[in-house]
A and B are shown apart, each in its own frame.
Chain A
């Protein structure tokens, strides 16, 4: 009917290249635009991510971290998307993006310092890695990405920015504003939603009445695409398209990667209170690393030697991570007063003096 927009008419199926058993989907309409060494590198990064993630959870269970937010099960969504970027592009994470961080060469210990409580936001060099601090207030960082994208556009730079967030984040007002700003300026932004089916206890169906999260893009005047988030090749392909469009001046894209948080929301969470074992089991069968490994094997790209090397390297990284984190102390208390303002005001000088006196006394006593 004239003037009517019908949510029922929107597509809900996801782009797929690999079926869960690792064969090429019969209706795959995206080519695999990756060289053999890229495919191996993607595999390596996925394995590394899983191993470091597992070690982080262990470290929390052993009391070395206050809390941790695992990304188990989301490796394809994270690595497939970040791999589509140029090293000069910027990444704005939420608090679960271990994969993209590792891809950018960030030392995972620099992430865990935040979860250990030695410093906020992460301790990597944000400019060097072009990777913004971890962002805890849900849904706020899409606006930062929009602003960054607008800046790139105003500066006639060809930098693209990707922002990661969850299904829950799409309910926040800031998410809407971020998409709208980016849309109005046709800014080079890729909005990447990992729809891992839950925002803590709330399933996505209760988060939004929209047929898909991807369909929300229509309201902002740019394309949206739903992709099988456990299919690393499909994720890479759609992100690559979005990045290219952004770089060529075509504006933003909203990608919805359908995946599953296999672990708890955070180590403080008990998921058995809100989801059944069957659901978890059904997603286990869709494991992103197994799927990709099956494909690589079929293509004779995965020798036993390479698999062992990746596993060994991941174990070593996990061991280094453990070594860096166990017992790590915070910086001296002065640091707390150091960067509140560019120039420390007198009131902070006085307070720091008082703190030093108390500490000195504590040391004696």
Chain B
């Protein structure tokens, strides 16, 4: 089986979808000639031409707002935001229109748009290039929020997001773009969008996470195993829809849960998970659900980012805490 990176898997997913469906078009800053600053759209313009891979003016509100119009006409736009921190100019179009068109028009004008966002930190970047904005979007009814953690899921989740009838915020863990895995393309029989994945089975505690932190959680679980602690790792794959059944099944088994994400903890998605687990499964919990995430500060400059990002130490600390509650 060939080995590919997560970035290549995304590139292949776009190619696959564009070959299959002529309505799929890609647009964004530098996505055509350059192939995107992370090369996720590499060589797509060569294959599909300038009418299907659009280098847009430098305007994120323009990219998403125009995607709304393109989708109403009948295209399936896949829009790229160059970095997480530059999604904010498009916030109005995403929240006020992408999220609400289906409901506003009682289903007459749904918007099958995918907004791809390289997100998260850990690449030593300057300000605005390391944000984790998932909570804003998960908080907005009408949007799906998806984040793959590995090459196979990157492929299948992006293909499914493009096929999805609703707008999808597709969060790409940029510091994991270069991780490799053996993947047979096209990925078949993968879990469908909306289902979480048990990334590692365990019995003592459940670590629930998504995107870039799945790797971190897996490494922490490995280390815990050396100390005789068996951690189950759940990779959510999508925050909306949320596969609460898989989460709950695990927590019922272990009785202990730790949520990990890069985003700051206050108002973060971990709070939502903790609340849902508590509401549905209070009595199976042996300890409060703990959150490991960013501090409530702006994302730090590169030389200090390691202090901010959840690492093995902080995850294991939390695992210890739920075990010794």
Contact = CB atoms under 8 A, between A and B. Distances in A.
A206 B55 contact: yes
B125 A340 contact: no
Interface in A337-365: 337, 340, 347-348, 351-352, 355, 358-359, 361-362
A269 B37 CA distance: 8
A267 to B, nearest CB: 12
A173 B55 contact: no
Interface residues of A, number: 47
A336 B59 contact: no
A120 B126 contact: yes
A336 B127 contact: no
B146 to A, nearest CB: 25
A197 interface: no
Interface in A41-55: none
Q: Is the interface of B mostly helix, strand, loop or mixed?
A: loop
B304 A171 contact: no
A326 interface: no
B127 A199 contact: no
Given A172-B89, A200-B37, A201-B34, A138 B58 contact: yes
Interface string B10-39: 000000000000000000011011110100
Nearest to B302: A117
Contact of B57 (A95, A115, A120, A171): A171
Given A66-B126, A206-B57, A347-B296, A329 B34 contact: no
A136 B127 contact: yes
A119 interface: yes
B303 A201 contact: no
Nearest to A114: B126
B298 interface: yes
Contacts of A115: 126
Contacts of A200: 29-30, 34, 37
Interface in A28-68: 66-67
B297 interface: yes
B58 A172 contact: yes
Interface of A: 66-67, 95, 114-121, 136-139, 168-169, 171-174, 199-202, 206-208, 268-269, 273-274, 329-330, 333, 336-337, 340, 347-348, 351-352, 355, 358-359, 361-362
A202 B307 contact: no
A118 B55 contact: no
A344 to B, nearest CB: 10
Contacts of A206: 55, 57
Interface string B86-115: 101100000000000000000000000000
Given A118-B303, A336-B300, A358-B314, A66 B37 contact: no
Contacts of B69: none
Candidate in B61, B62, B125, B297 with the most chain A CB atoms within 10 angstroms = B297
B295 A67 contact: no
Candidate in A114, A201, A273 with the most chain B CB atoms within 10 angstroms = A201
Interface of B: 29-30, 32-35, 37, 55, 57-59, 61-62, 85-86, 88-89, 124-129, 266, 295-298, 300-305, 307-308, 313-314, 317
Contacts of A114: 126-127, 301
Contacts of B317: 358
A293 to B, nearest CB: 34
A138 B62 CA distance: 14
B303 A116 contact: yes
A355 B307 contact: yes
Contacts of A119: 301
A330 to B, nearest CB: 4
Nearest to A345: B296
A137 B128 contact: yes
Contacts of B88: 137
A336 B58 contact: no
B262 to A, nearest CB: 15
B74 to A, nearest CB: 25
B127 A355 contact: no
17 contacts: A115-B126, A116-B302, A117-B305, A136-B126, A136-B127, A137-B86, A171-B58, A172-B58, A201-B33, A206-B55, A207-B57, A207-B58, A273-B35, A274-B34, A330-B304, A336-B295, A347-B296
Contacts of B89: 137, 172-174
Candidate in B57, B89, B313, B317 with the most chain A CB atoms within 10 angstroms = B57
A66 B125 contact: yes
B126 A169 contact: no
Given A201-B30, A202-B30, A330-B301, 19 more contacts: A66-B126, A117-B124, A117-B304, A120-B298, A121-B127, A136-B85, A138-B58, A138-B86, A172-B89, A200-B30, A200-B34, A201-B55, A202-B55, A273-B33, A330-B303, A337-B295, A347-B266, A351-B296, A352-B295
Contact of A336 (B30, B32, B55, B304): B304
B302 A348 contact: no
Contacts of A117: 124, 126, 301-305
The 6 closest A-B pairs by CB, nearest first: A117-B302, A171-B57, A330-B303, A201-B34, A168-B58, A120-B127
Nearest to A120: B127
Contact of B298 (A118, A169, A202, A340): A340
Nearest to A200: B30
Nearest to A67: B126
Nearest to A137: B128
A5 B197 CA distance: 60
Contact of A333 (B62, B266, B302, B304): B304
Contacts of B303: 116-118, 329-330
Contacts of A202: 29-30, 55, 57-58
Contacts of A352: 295
Nearest to B298: A340
B57 A67 contact: no
A248 to B, nearest CB: 34
Nearest to A199: B58
A348 B297 contact: yes
